[in-house]
Amino acid sequence: MKLFVSEGNPHCLKVLAALEGAEFRCDVQFVNHEEKVVPFLSRPSLPALLFPNGQYLFSPNAICRYMFEVSGQECSEACDQWLEWETTELQPALLQALHMAVLRGKESEVPKVLAGPLSYLDQSLTKATTSYLTGDVVSVADLVVCAALHPILSASSLASGEQKSVRVWFDRVAASRGFVSASNKVLQGKGLQAMKSFMQSSQCRGATQPCNSGPTEGEEMERAVSQEEMEAAALNWHKGVNSAPAPTDRLHPILPQEGRRNILMTSALPYVNNVPHLGNIIGCVLSADVFSRYARLRGWNSLFVCGTDEYGTATENKAREEGLTPQQICDKYHAIHASIYEWFQIDFDFFGRTTTDKQTEIAQNIFWRLHKNGFLVEEMVEQLRCEKCQRFLADRFVEGTCPYCKYPDARGDQCDKCGRLINAVELKEPHCKVCGQTPVIRSSKHLFLDLPKLEAQLERWLDKSTCSGDWTANAKQITRSWLRDGLKPRCITRDLQWGTPVPHPDFKEKVFYVWFDAPIGYISITANYTDKWEQWWKNPDQVELYNFMAKDNVPFHSVVFPCSLLGAQDHYTLVNHLIATEYLNYEDTKFSKSRGVGVFGDMAKDTGIPSDVWRFYLLYVRPEGQDSAFSWADMALKNNSELLNNLGNFINRAGMFVSKFFDGCVPAMELLQEDKKLLAVVGWELQQYIQLLDKVKIRDGLKHILNISRHGNQYIQVNEPWKKIKGGDAERQRAGTVTGVSVNVACLLSVMLLPYMPAVSQTIRDQLNAPHSCVSAALRGTGAFARVLDPGHRIGTVSPLFQKLEVEQIEALKKRFGGQQPEDELPNEKMATPNAAGPQSAAALATPATEADPEKARQLTQAVAEQGEKVRAMKAQKADKTVVMAEVSKLLELKRLLALADGKSPEPAPVKGKK
């Protein structure tokens, strides 16, 4: 056997370390990292292990595992789990960290990029009773993970001292047999700089991905396709889908069915007291909606419920601010939320609320069962009370300095910076968020959920659920961090008025704490949907439960709520798959309603950008593995490049060729090798899409849709049907085949797009007059690309799907949602909201001004923007030049007046052609 490796390649460090550790014998040959060793791959792939029979193994972890097993060292299930974690969770973060450190010189960013994986590794090592990841000897998992981290942790400028268990483990493994030798051979003693050439070539091939982006154009290289794949793809194509059943309307109430996969989906209940921003929307309801729509396409029996979380101090405070009762606030904002989600096309099966009789009934029933089973304890609690407001302060209405990390804006229940749980009385320099006064400490008797008593049950359930279900890495990490130091009793009552009443006579003046009460809302909302709610919520053997949320909600869904249901001992359905996102920021800051920073749900509609484009971009930058940011410039770029020039261009061309060249009817198709190759490539992308979405990898799934349209555009470009249609019979036949194949690919894309962009998906199918059967057939089973639009099928009217986002439009939106200046920075008065009365004439605004006039400046800014839009529209329509110039003159005059209103001296406009 021969092992091919290269210098500067971090993956080669793994296999050389494993080679020594497993005492495996083979010939090692160093080659250039650009050398194509494996002949059937389209690009270089090292390391590679060549067997005597001519076969290759070229996955680094697979090579390492093979070496250990051949040497008689079995790989345990735990070992396989760590190898999978290294591939799926650690490697993406490492690639980004190395990209930052080696190519961009931003070494200070590396600890932040790797914080999640290192924290998870540290917690696992801290909790373990063994010296290494899977036992008391170095396993293949230790060598693989250690070698992957070696370039970072061995660099003194990047090594972090915060993860002590990681450092002890790393030093121990790195000192093991052959590791130092392997490191010297690969890195040549040059550290990170040894990898510069490798990283640069990998970047050119699309192997490294920018920090804050989803899939990028051109990142996928063409993959090799075998003859067997092409023939199988052609066979699937010819089968067609004419026999597939058409989708039926969903009949409510939807209930679990024997013999089917029954999926219950919830997204975190949004607080009713405010309008959700884009980060809230992508963090729960939009992500859940994509998976819900996908589940229906897969033919699973699914139910998607959500609703507004309406109890608690936040609602009381909002009511006081607006001069309404709490119930009126709930009614008002429930309607606002419902309207926003409807515009974003969030297709709930039922959208309810928590201020219902069912909520009271079910929450109190769970409470009494916990009480009866001995899982509640009474304790006197020291609380913060605001004497000015004459009330105890709920956790989220007191802020101060975190006692652990010194973050100055920690809340009374949790610090957003370090993630530690806090008792409000532990805060340093606390203050009431309502009036700003310093609260005092007072005592009150409360009920606690006895989490320590439930910890063993929880651990057993978690081990099963996290191993068998799809839990995101941050969900596992956050949950384990709670369990690491042992659970503590959790208070479930509050001294409030607006909430579910505690039925115990000794606590009749109290209500349930929102984080005990709110998750029960999933159950009560289902109970308001159907009387047979127990078929979903007390049926763990037949029902799979998916929870969608942002990472700050994880502990309440993975610890507190499951413990409540376990302690109730009523055979409740517990979460099988916990899907948590990181945070979405706005540009380079946080969303802030008070400062006018960021786009909130009720504002998106007013931008004029379709909801499907909003959905696409939010899903494109979905913060799956780390925080990401909404960017206006990036949104315009992705709209114009991916939607307009890639996806929309392909679908529009395919349909237009049918209309223009073949009188609106799909032509006959005779497949050649290159057509079969396209079918195989599209089929592979479809299978990847299904595998990813089955695992709720929503952002990654979108990449394969865009890849297919890229393949389609290239296929059309190479075959040039617009030229061949003018040739002889053979060339016209070729043009027909290319057109027929392309329009069928477009039809497949319409189905794959449905979870992401439902309105666009429907528009494409309407334009293609696609049969209903295509929706139910495309994603069933493992996925096979089959012909849907047969020769002779008549399509509908084809028109462009997307519009370009112009620079001026995006700049105006960025300015509009970028927040206002602080009052002390404004010239005279706080800026007013632009009125909607329409443009004013220059004459009406021409009052001379020698000093700044904010109101006039506001009006003129509006007039300049509208006149500019008018000029651009006239130019685009190629209006008469003299008419355009007259309007340009008006625009220049408005700009001159605006400069005056701003207190500036207007500069004369430069004359073209003269100095």
Q: What is the pLDDT of residue 857?
A: 62
In which region does residue 6 sit, left (phi positive, over 0), alpha (psi from -120 to 50) or beta (all else)?
beta
Evaluate whether 398 touches 384 at the Cβ level (below 8 Å). Answer: yes
Largest CA distance in the chain: 93
Q: Residue 586: enclosing H or E segment and its boundaries?
A: strand 584-586
Evaluate whether 871 touches 891 at the Cβ level (below 8 Å). Answer: yes
Residues 6+ apart with CB under 8 A from 334: 272, 308, 310, 353
Distance CA 186, CA 11 (A): 9
Mean pLDDT of the chain: 84
Q: Is 584 helix (H, G, I), strand (E, B) or coil?
A: strand
Distance CA 287, CA 346 (A): 10
Q: What is the pLDDT of residue 876?
A: 57
Q: Is 295 helix (H, G, I), strand (E, B) or coil?
A: helix
Q: CA dihedral defined by 429, 433, 436, 437, rounded to 10 degrees?
A: -70
Residue 572 amino acid letter:
Y
Count of Cβ atoms closer than 10 Å to residue 597 Cβ: 18
Structure tokens belonging to residue 750: 């319409």
Q: Residue 392: enclosing H or E segment and its boundaries?
A: strand 391-392
Distance CA 154, CA 756 (A): 42
Which among 444, 447, 407, 448 has a CA at the least distance from the CA of 427? 407
**Helix ranges, 572-643 (H):** 601-604, 611-620, 632-638
Tens digits of per-residue pLDDT, 590-611? 887 767 788 998 899 999 999 9
Q: What is the pLDDT of residue 424?
A: 87
Q: What is the pLDDT of residue 698?
A: 96
Phi, psi of 48 (to 5 degrees): -145, 135
Spatial strand order of the sheet with 56-57 comes to: 27-30, 2-5, 48-50, 56-57
In which region does residue 191 sit, left (phi positive, over 0), alpha (psi from -120 to 50) or beta (all else)?
left
List beta partners, residue 428: 401
Residue with tokens 């055979």: 571
Buried b (16+ CB within 10 A) or exposed e, 333-343: bbebbbebbee
Which among 636, 532, 617 has a CA at the least distance from the CA of 255? 532
Secondary structure in 3-state letters for 484-550? HCCCCCEECEECCCCCCECCCHHHCCCEECHHHHCCHHHHHHHHHHCCCCHHHHCCCCCEEEEEEEE
Cα–Cα distances (Å) from 32 to 80, 195, 207, 311, 862, in that order, read 30, 13, 17, 64, 61
Which among 800, 654, 660, 664 has a CA at the least distance from the CA of 737? 654
Q: What is the pLDDT of residue 497?
A: 87
DSSP string, 197-213: HHHHHHHHTT-S--TT-
Q: What is the pLDDT of residue 872?
A: 66
Q: Positive or negative CA dihedral for 416, 419, 423, 429?
A: negative
Q: Is the pTM of this model over 0.85?
A: no
* 3-class SS shares of the chain: helix, strand, coil, % to 5: 50, 10, 40
Q: What is the pLDDT of residue 732?
A: 96
Tens digits of per-residue pLDDT, 741-762? 999 999 999 999 999 999 999 9
Evaluate whether 405 touches 391 at the Cβ level (below 8 Å). Answer: no
List beta partners, residue 307: 352
Write out residues in the chain with pLDDT < 70, as ranges. 33, 40-43, 156-162, 177, 200-223, 241-249, 594, 819-862, 865-866, 869-870, 872-886, 898-915
Q: How many residues does the chain have?
A: 915
